[in-house]
Amino acid sequence: MGKDNWSYRSIGMQCRTCIYFVRKALRDEDGNSVETIIGRCRRRAPTMNGFPVVFETDWCGDHKLDEEKI
């Protein structure tokens, strides 16, 4: 059996590098911004619950690379 060419394919297609990913802005009690690992996927129109919540390390087949995030 040959080597799987897709085994690491998702590494370059994670949400954190996608043009549709918007990181969730959080602030602590002093008003300083806090780093988060979650955000919203804005690939499709929002539902009644808003945009889907995703982790930076998630990925999907609709990934579109954002050159400003790499």
The pTM of the full predicted model, rounded to 2 decimals, is: 0.73
**Tens of pLDDT, residues 25-70:** 888 778 777 778 899 999 999 999 999 999 998 988 898 988 887 7
How far apart (Å, rounded) are the C-alpha atoms in residues 35 and 25? 8
Element (H, E) at 38: strand 38-41
Predicted local distance difference test score (pLDDT) of residue 1: 65
Non-local CB neighbours of 20 within 8 Å, separated by 6+ positions: 41, 42, 43, 62, 64
* Domain positions in the chain: 9-55
Predicted local distance difference test score (pLDDT) of residue 22: 93
